[in-house]
Amino acid sequence: MKSSDYAKTCIQYPAQPKSFLIEKSSETEADEKTIFIEPQAQEKKMIIKKLADRLGLERKEMLELLQLYTETAGRDIETLKTALKTKNTTLAHEKAHAIKGASGNMGLQTIYELAMEIDDRVQSNSLDGLEDIWKDLYREYQNLVNTIKESDN
């Protein structure tokens, strides 16, 4: 399916430069629009529900899957930071690629795109400015962690 076949729904918190995006096929929902959601607990529960619905899971299953994702991605993000600081491009590529794949599978579009940007630039040996992209990636990861915590209550 071509990327033009998809409409993006943006779940964005105020005062954040980016937030995780969820991609949804326009075939299943017509006229999808960008949604700006404030970080209220009830609204965060809806974010989890949307992710679950898009993957065909129950909310509880999605929370369990996101818990596993955040544990693994958290370790990978920290390792990626170290790899970027030490200019270990092999390890940086490995971790960015892993984060990209897991995030794409979960529907976490912004995290996916940031990891892809890091991965592409590491592969082309263009390391300047990657610390800022890593910071954006980490901020998005933290937004997700907070969303999970608050929606699990």
SS3 75: helix
Q: Residue 137 belongs to what domain range?
A: 3-151
CA gap 65, 23 in Å, rounded: 18
pLDDT, tens digit, 9 for 90 and up, residues 67-81:
999 999 999 999 999
- What domain count does the chain have? 1
The whole-number pLDDT of residue 4 equals 30
Q: What torsion do the CA atoms of 43, 17, 141, 89 make, to the nearest 10 degrees?
A: 160
pLDDT band at 151 (very low <50, low <70, confident <90, very high): confident
Residue 29 neighbours by CB distance under 10 Å: 11
**Domain holding 129: CATH number?**
1.20.120.160
| Consecutive H or E run containing 10 | strand 6-12
